[in-house]
Amino acid sequence: MADISAPLTTADGKPLKAALASAQARARRRAFFLVLPLLAFVLLTFVAPIAQMLHRSVHNPGFTTHTDIGSGEKTPIMVNLRAWFKENPPGTEPDEAAYEALVKDLVVLRELKAPGSVGTRINYERAGSRSMFTKAARRAEKLEPPYKEAMLDLDEDWADPELWQVMRGASSAYTFNFYLAALDLARDADGSIVSVDENRQVYVKLFTRTLLLSLLITFLCFLLAYPIAHLLATLPLRHSNLLMIFVLLPFWTSLLVRTTSWIVLLQSQGVVNDTLVATGILDDDSRIQMIYNQTGTIIAMTHILLPFMVLPLYSVMRPINPSYVRAARSLGATSWTAFRRIYFPQTVPGIGAGALLVFILAVGYYITPALVGGANGQLISNLIAFHMTKSLNWSLAAALAAILLGGILVLYWLYDRLVGIDNLKLG
Amino acid sequence: MQDREPNVATSDTDSAFVVFDRVQKSYDGETLVVKDLNLSIGKGEFLTMLGPSGSGKTTCLMMLAGFETATHGEILLDGRPINNIPPHKRGIGMVFQNYALFPHMTVNENLAFPLEVRGMGKDEREAKVKRALEMVQMGEFGNRRPAQLSGGQQQRIALARALVFDPALVLMDEPLGALDKQLREHMQYEIKHLHENLGITVVYVTHDQSEALTMSDRVAVFDDGIIQQLAPPAELYEQPQNSFVAQFIGENNKLSGKVIALDGDIATVQLDDGETCTALAVNCGGVGSDTLISVRPERVSVAAQGGPNSTSATVQELIYLGDHIRCRLTVHGNDEFVVKVPNSAGHSHLSVGETTQVSWLAQDARALDAG
């Protein structure tokens, strides 16, 4: 016997570990090259956009750098005012020097044709600021000292401490203010964090609604999918195949078609209401409003997301041998007890997978709520889209999206703690 | 269902414990899987349903357990019709082919399950589980999951689970099918001993005839939805009532022919090659009907000059099996005729191609139906 403590070697004296590594290196290299395209794809289309989004949610150079649209040349702007902010702590009353710096910067902005974009940046956090900037920049060159009075003559709002607080916040390209805004918070004049006016609080309410609706939709999907999946798993194969096609049919139909067909069915002059009226169950004037509200969102999304619950459940139920339930029955359990104690626990991994899938999809759902959600059936994704396409406040959109992402990751972590990710079975 | 204590091992077959009374079963309304089953099983009996797959034996077991309903007829358990009693109220223990141990529960939980659903207290439960585990020598495995056990261990647990709630009747559906040969034989003896010690009634389904012969008090041979023969193992082997049973149980040489004379028990049969031989008339019909003569390989003597039913045979093949030598011969034109020559001192040495004489007693040749 060789000495146990000495490292093992191959017949020609090479260390065994090194020999093994070199023997496997080729296979490893080949495996790596095989997944390389996917890796590049994922990096390019998944990791990079998310990283960029996260960056954008804390970075907005609208008040610090001007990028010329034609040449792409970057010019620092608001230099004087930013210097003043740096010298004076938050809460300082803006003095003559501050106004002088502001006017000098406005002159520069006018030359760069940039007052609009800078105004927009401030407008994100304080409504009505954009016009103040464009108006002031037009006249800035002609203003005489004392600048404070001159500016206040133009618009009294220039003395608003909130405006100065916003400008101070924007004077650094990196800021967490978008996250504050996304959580219905803001900094007051002293720089401390307070919640915004009650009638301007939208985001937290929407996050809560998104969460609750998604949970409800997940639960409804579970209720509907469980019996279907069970039927699919227990029917003879030729019957279950047909049924499976019905389950998958929605998958093969355009999302838009499915959503609009719900509009046809549920609208106040739609099929369902007409039938109810025709059969005399409903009065003609008491037609039920089932669409363009939360009900519409819930019905349409439950329908669309149902297959995502059915499939994992089915894949878990199919291999469960019927003899388990039979054994439980023969051991004295009623059919309910046999289901509860024996069958159901074995389907939990499928429930977990389906619920997680449906929930995550529901939380980020956009098209369906946009089409059938009306006013109170909108979800947070609709607001993100609004900030992306309408208000063009990409930083806020990014902050909202990042909070959504973070929330899902937290839920995912919770799920892992409670159920265990390795119990997940997608098929 | 009244609670019954494990019965003392009185193998009194007269007091029928389970009765199948003219039971028929059809799944599709076109064919009968079980054609006309009449069977009574005595208390404490070990009865095996033996048959090829598709013969209806498992269906019978499932009807008894309550997972299938009889299309026609009555099943009685301890004198009470059970057709309308759901499985969980029948109080029948069952061991499944794949054991059906609940994978999400430990062994202890699996065993406690039937006691729990009967509302038994925790202390009593634990005591019973412990006792049942010790009965199958698995005392230390209580906290394992089924997946952490070997096939044989799972088998024991399944057995313990079917027995833990003291059922008077235990059904076993090919419980040893998944085990390797050695373990299977070992478990056969264990199940047999458990049955003897506990005095329970066991209905056992298998397609393995040696398993059936080893363990049973009586064996019901199923084929085509009908019990072909119901008899103790020895009788089944020694006195098969028809050619299916003769063929299915043990090894068998068959010679087909026509009955040309009947003299009491003894039939004279003209074989297909024109020669005649005598055989015990069991199930061969009258003169002129076709018959199949069944002779067990070990009842044929080789090289015995001038015995009864003596005929010449050509050796086709010799296989050495240690304790005996298996000879395949051509006898009366049948070249699948097998004879076992014991490897005893001074046994006859044959060689392939050689012509020798074989003979057998008329009592050992059974003239049966033509099959």
Query: Any idea what the CATH number is for the domain that residue A216 is in?
Result: 1.10.3720.10
The total number of structural domains in chain A stands at 2
A1 pLDDT higher than 60:
no
**A260 and A312 share a domain?**
yes
Range name among A3-17, A61-75, A230-244 with the lowest pLDDT average: A3-17
What per-residue confidence (pLDDT) applies to B11?
Answer: 38
3-class secondary structure per residue, B157-201: HHHHHHHCCCCCEEEEECCCCCCCHHHHHHHHHHHHHHHHHHCCE
CB contact under 8 A, B88 and A326: no
Among A334, A341, A346, the residue with its CB nearest the CB of B88 is: A334
Whether A392 is covered by a domain: the verdict is yes
The model's confidence at residue B1, banded by pLDDT at 50, 70 and 90, is very low
Which residue among B97, B98, B117 sits closest to A331, beta carbon to beta carbon?
B117
pLDDT for position B221: 93
Checking phi first, is residue A233 left (phi over 0); if not, alpha (psi -120 to 50) or beta?
Answer: alpha
- How many C-alpha atoms does B45 have within 13 Å on its Cβ side? 23
Whole-Å CA distances, A252 to A30, A136, A249, A306, B175: 36, 57, 5, 13, 46
Contact A323 B97 (CB under 8 A): yes
Classify burial at A216, counting beta carbons within 10 Å of its beta carbon; exposed 0-12, middle 13-18, buried 19 or more.
middle
Tokens 């389907």 sit on residue = A347
Is B265 or B348 the better-scoring residue by pLDDT? B265
**B12-238 shares its CATH topology with B253-368:** no
**A66/A102 same-domain check:** yes
Is 60 exceeded by the pLDDT of residue A188? yes
The average pLDDT across A397-404 equals 94
Taking 80 as the threshold, does the pLDDT of residue B9 lie above it?
Answer: no
pLDDT band (50, 70, 90) for residue A43: very high
Domain B12-238, CATH class in plain words: alpha beta
Q: Do B113 and A333 touch (CB under 8 A)?
A: yes
Interface touch B94/A326, C-beta < 8 Å: yes
pLDDT band at B5 (very low <50, low <70, confident <90, very high): very low
Position A34 pLDDT exceeds 90: yes
Residues A188, A230 within the same domain: no
Task: Please report which confidence band the pLDDT of residue B205 belongs to, taking 50, 70 and 90 as the band edges.
Answer: very high
**Do B161 and A331 lie within an 8 Å CB cutoff?**
yes
What percent of chain A is modeled with pLDDT above 70? 97
Closest-CA residue of A relative to B163 is: A331
Q: Quick one: A146 and A194 in the same domain? A: yes
Q: How many CB atoms lie within 10 A of CB B119?
A: 7
A102 and A246: one domain?
A: no
pLDDT tens digit sequence for A125-171: 888 888 999 999 888 888 888 888 888 888 888 988 888 888 888 88
Query: A139, A174, A200: which is the final residue of a domain?
Result: A200
Nearest CA in chain A to B94: A330
User: What mean pLDDT comes out for the span A289-311?
Assistant: 91
**Cβ–Cβ below 8 Å for A327 and B98:** no
User: Could you tell me the two tokens for A367?
Assistant: 């098209």
A174 and A285 housed in the same domain: no
In a domain, A243, yes or no: yes
Question: In this structure, are A368 and A382 located in the same domain?
Answer: yes
pLDDT at site B2: 40
pLDDT of residue A396: 92
Identify the residue among A330, A348, A351 best suited for mutation to test binding to B, counting B beta carbons within 10 A and taking the highest.
A330
Name every residue in B having a CB less than 8 A away from some CB of A: 65-67, 86-94, 96-98, 100, 102-104, 113-114, 117-118, 161-162, 165, 171
In DSSP terms, B20 is beta-bridged to B39, B75
Averaged confidence pLDDT in chain A: 88
Nearest to B100 among A323, A333, A337 (CB): A323
Whole-angstrom distance, CA of residue A242 vs CA of residue A118: 61
Q: Could you tell me the two tokens for A227? A: 């019996």
Give the contacts of B57 (CB within 8 A, at least 6 positions apart): B49, B50, B51, B205, B220, B222
Q: Are residues A147 and A208 in the same domain?
A: no
pLDDT score for A313: 93
Question: Residues A216-236: what's their mean pLDDT?
Answer: 94
- CB–CB of B86 and A328 under 8 A? no
State the nearest Cα–Cα gap between B145 and chain A, in angstroms. Answer: 14
Residue position matching structure tokens 């006691």: B115
Among A222-231, B11-20, B351-360, the range with the most confident prediction by mean pLDDT is A222-231
Note whether A192 and A110 are same-domain residues.
Answer: yes
Cα separation, A395 vs B43, whole angstroms: 82
CB contact under 8 A, B104 and A324: no
Which residue in B87, B161, B171 is closest to A329 by CB distance?
B87
Domain segments of chain B as ranges: 12-238, 253-368
A89 in a structural domain: yes
pLDDT in tens, B286-322: 888 889 999 998 888 887 667 778 888 899 999 988 8
pLDDT value of position B154: 93
Q: Give the architecture-level CATH label for domain B253-368.
A: Beta Barrel (2.40)
- The confidence band for B6, taking pLDDT boundaries of 50, 70 and 90, is very low
- The pLDDT of residue A424 is 66
CB atoms B102 and A342 under 8 Å: yes
Q: What is the pLDDT of residue A147?
A: 87
Sheet holding B218-223, edge to edge: B92-95, B169-173, B201-206, B46-50, B218-223, B226-231
Note whether A215 and A149 are same-domain residues.
Answer: no
Q: How far is CA B172 from CA A53, B58, B63, B92, B162, in A?
A: 64, 10, 13, 11, 9
**Higher pLDDT pick, B7 / B157:** B157
| A26, part of any domain | no
For residue B82, is pLDDT > 50?
A: yes
Domain shared by A207 and A87, yes or no: no
Q: Is B218:B231 a contact under the CB 8 Å cutoff?
A: yes
Interface touch A324/B100, C-beta < 8 Å: yes
- Position A73 in a domain: yes
Rounded distance, CA A353 to CA A421, Å?
Answer: 9
pLDDT at position B86: 92
% chain B with pLDDT above 70: 94
Q: What is the pLDDT of residues A96-135, one digit of tens each?
A: 889 999 998 998 888 888 888 889 898 888 888 889 999 9
Final residue in a domain of this structure, among A200, A223, A240: A200
- Domain of residue A179, residue span: 61-200
Q: How far is B349 from chain A (nearest CA, A)?
A: 52
Using a CB–CB cut-off of 8 Å, the residues of A that contact B are 321, 323-324, 326-335, 337-338, 341-342, 345-346
Last residue of a domain, one of A145, A165, A200: A200
**Domain assignment of residue A24, yes or no:** no
pLDDT confidence band for B10 (50 / 70 / 90)? very low
B-chain residues near A345 (CB < 8 A): 104
Say if residue A69 is in the same domain as residue A136.
Answer: yes
Report helix angle A203-234 to A237-252, nearest 10: 150
Query: What pairing do the DSSP bridges indicate for beta strands B46-50 and B218-223?
Result: parallel
